[in-house]
C-alpha cells in the first residue's frame, strides 16, 4: 500500500468536524477492508471529507442528505480541487451506500416503471427456483421474457392475468420474430410456456392458452458447426498468461479450467472454495437444473488454483473461488465476466480467435476428444450434456473421419 496516501486519508478522516465526522473514520476502515489501497483510499476519504465540509457550510444535517442534496454538491463551484472530478460521482456513490448501510440516511426507494406487473409476477421467480429447480441465469431469462410480454399486453394499466388471450400471445411472438433470430424467439416461447403453465397452476388461465404459443421453425437437425479455438491459439494464450501479476495468476487458473475441463462460464462463476476437494483431487460442479457432480482435478489446473489462492486471491469474506482483481473485492456476479477474461487475454496476446468468448474452449475440448477416438456418449459425459442431441453436433466437425464411413452406392464400380 502507498503509505503516504493511506496516512493522508487517515488524517483527513481524523480532521473531519462537520455532520459526517462521526462516520468518516468508520468509512475509512470500511474502504480499507474492501481492499482499496493507496490512492484509491485517499480519493474516497478526500471526497467524503470535502462533502462533509460542504454540508457544514450549507448547514445540512446528515438526515437531510438525499439525491437533490447530492446533485447540489456536484454542481457547486469549489475552485481548485486536489482530486480529479472524474472520481467524484463514483466516490460519492460509495459513501452514500455506506451511509445507507448504517441507516444514517434513507434507503433508496424501489423504482419500477411497471410496479403492478412486477408485483403480479414476483412469485413466478420463486416458483421457478423452488418448484422447477432452475439456475439463476435461466430464472432471470424466463422472468424477464414474461415481464416483457406483460408490458406489451398491459403497459401501465391494471394487470388482469385472466384477461390474457391467445391473440395476445401470438401477436407478441410474431412481433419478436421480426427483430430476433429463430433461436432467440424459441427461448421466448419456452419462457412464455413456463409462465402460462404457472398461471394455469394458479387457476388464472385455461390449458388451451398454452397450446396457442406458436412453434418456431428452428431446425435442430442442422445446427451450426461449433467454432473452437485452435490448439495453437490455446497454447499461445496460456503461455501469454504466465502469471506475473495477481490478475494474470487468476486468469490463468480460469483459462485452464476452460481448456482442460470444458467448463461453462456459469460453472466457474458459481464455484466456491468448498468445491475444491484437495484430498481426493476433484471439483464439485453445480450444473444446469442444480445437478451436482464431481470432476477430476488435473494436476496443472490444481496447481494454478493453489497458486492463485496462495499468492493472488484477495482476503475477502466471499466464499466464491474467483474474485474481482480490483476493489471492492467480491465474486463475479455475471457469467459474461468469464467471457471478458477470455476476450481481454486474447486481445493482449494478439490472437485473432474465431470467437471471443469462453465457450470456444468447450468446443475445442470436444473436438480434441473426438480426434483421439472418443465416442459421442463419452464426450457428452465429459461435457455433462443432458441429451445426446446436444453432443451430436460434434459428429459434423471431423469431416475427414466421417468420409471413411461413407458406404459406396449400390452398383457403383469398384
Question: Exposed, middle or buried by CB within 10 Å (0-12, 13-18, 19+), for 8?
Answer: middle
Among residues 28, 47, 324, 362, the one annotated as catalytic is 362
Interatomic CA distance for residues 344 and 340, integer angstroms: 6
Residue 204 is a catalytic residue: no
R_g (Cα) of the chain, nearest Å: 27
Provide the total of helices (H) and of strands (E) in the chain, helices listed first.
Answer: 20, 3
CA angle 101, 107, 113 (to 5 degrees): 135
Cα gap 248→344, rounded to integer Å: 11
- Asked about 76 being catalytic, the answer comes back as no
Q: How many residues does the chain have?
A: 414
Q: Per the residue annotation, which of 288, 320, 355, 356 is the catalytic one?
A: 288
Q: What is the DSSP code (8-state) at residue 326?
A: S
Residue of 264, 313, 363, 384 marked active site: 264
C-alpha cell, 393: 453436433
Joined together, the cell numbers standing for residue 147 give 415481464
The answer to whether residue 44 is catalytic is no
Active site residue 172: no
Our answer to whether residue 39 is catalytic in this structure is: no
**Residues linked to residue 277 through DSSP beta bridges, in sequence order:** 282
For the CA atoms of 386, 390, 391, 394, the dihedral, rounded to the nearest 10 degrees, stands at -170
Residues 6+ apart with CB under 8 A from 28: 9, 10, 13, 41, 45
Residue 73 known to be catalytic: no
C-alpha 107 chain-centroid distance: 25
**Cell digits for 281?**
483431487
Catalytic residue, chosen from 28, 47, 153, 385, is 385
> In whole angstroms, what is the distance from residue 98 CA to residue 395 CA?
55
Residue closest to 213 by CA, chosen among 187, 241, 246: 187
HSE of 292 in the Cβ direction (CA atoms, 13 Å)? 6
Of 6, 42, 198, 394, which is the active-site residue? 394
Peptide bond into 328 cis (omega under 30): yes
What's the 3-state SS for 63-84? Answer: HHCCHHHHHHHHCCCCCCCCCC
3-state class (DSSP) for residue 276: strand
Annotated catalytic sites, by residue? 264, 288, 359, 362, 385, 394
Amino acid at each position: 500500500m502507498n503509505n503516504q496516501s493511506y496516512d493522508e486519508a487517515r488524517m483527513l478522516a481524523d480532521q473531519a468536524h462537520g455532520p459526517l465526522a462521526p462516520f468518516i473514520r468508520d468509512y475509512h476502515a470500511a474502504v480499507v477492508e474492501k481492499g482499496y489501497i493507496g490512492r484509491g483510499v485517499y480519493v474516497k476519504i478526500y471526497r467524503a471529507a470535502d462533502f462533509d465540509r460542504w454540508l457544514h457550510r450549507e448547514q445540512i444535517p446528515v438526515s437531510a442528505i438525499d439525491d437533490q442534496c447530492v446533485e447540489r454538491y456536484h454542481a457547486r463551484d469549489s475552485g481548485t480541487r486536489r482530486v480529479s472530478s472524474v472520481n467524484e460521482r463514483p466516490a460519492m456513490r460509495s459513501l452514500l451506500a455506506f451511509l445507507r448501510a448504517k441507516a444514517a440516511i434513507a434507503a433508496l426507494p424501489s423504482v419500477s416503471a411497471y410496479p403492478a406487473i412486477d408485483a403480479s409476477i414476483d412469485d413466478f421467480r420463486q416458483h421457478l427456483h423452488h418448484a422447477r429447480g432452475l439456475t439463476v441465469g435461466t430464472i432471470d431469462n424466463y422472468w424477464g421474457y414474461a415481464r416483457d410480454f406483460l408490458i406489451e399486453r398491459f403497459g401501465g394499466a391494471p394487470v388482469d392475468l385472466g384477461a390474457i388471450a391467445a391473440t395476445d400471445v401470438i401477436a407478441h411472438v410474431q412481433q419478436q420474430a421480426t427483430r430476433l433470430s429463430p433461436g432467440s424467439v424459441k427461448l421466448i416461447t419456452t419462457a412464455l410456456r413456463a409462465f402460462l403453465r404457472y398461471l394455469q397452476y394458479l387457476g388464472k388461465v385455461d390449458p388451451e392458452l398454452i397450446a396457442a404459443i406458436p412453434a418456431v421453425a428452428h431446425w435442430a437437425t442442422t445446427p451450426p458447426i461449433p467454432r473452437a479455438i485452435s490448439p495453437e491459439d490455446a497454447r499461445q494464450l496460456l503461455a501469454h498468461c504466465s502469471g506475473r501479476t495477481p490478475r494474470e495468476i487468476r486468469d490463468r487458473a480460469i483459462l485452464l479450467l476452460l481448456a482442460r475441463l470444458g467448463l461453462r462460464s456459469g460453472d466457474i462463476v458459481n464455484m466456491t472454495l468448498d468445491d475444491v476437494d484437495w484430498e481426493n483431487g476433484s471439483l464439485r460442479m453445480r450444473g444446469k437444473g442444480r445437478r451436482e457432480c464431481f470432476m477430476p482435478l488435473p494436476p496443472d489446473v490444481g496447481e494454478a488454483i493453489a497458486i492463485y489462492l496462495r499468492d493472488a486471491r484477495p482476503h475477502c469474506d466471499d466464499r466464491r473461488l474467483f474474485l474481482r482483481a480490483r476493489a471492492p473485492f467480491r465474486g463475479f456476479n455475471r457469467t459474461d465476466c468469464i467471457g471478458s477474461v477470455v476476450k481481454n487475454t486474447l486481445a493482449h496476446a494478439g490472437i485473432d480467435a474465431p470467437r471471443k468468448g469462453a465457450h470456444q474452449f468447450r468446443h475445442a475440448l470436444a473436438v480434441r476428444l473426438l480426434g483421439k477416438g472418443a465416442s459421442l456418449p463419452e464426450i457428452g459425459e465429459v461435457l455433462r450434456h443432458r441429451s445426446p442431441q446436444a453432443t451430436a453436433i460434434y459428429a459434423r466437425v471431423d469431416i475427414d473421419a466421417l468420409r471413411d464411413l461413407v458406404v459406396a452406392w449400390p452398383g457403383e464400380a469398384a
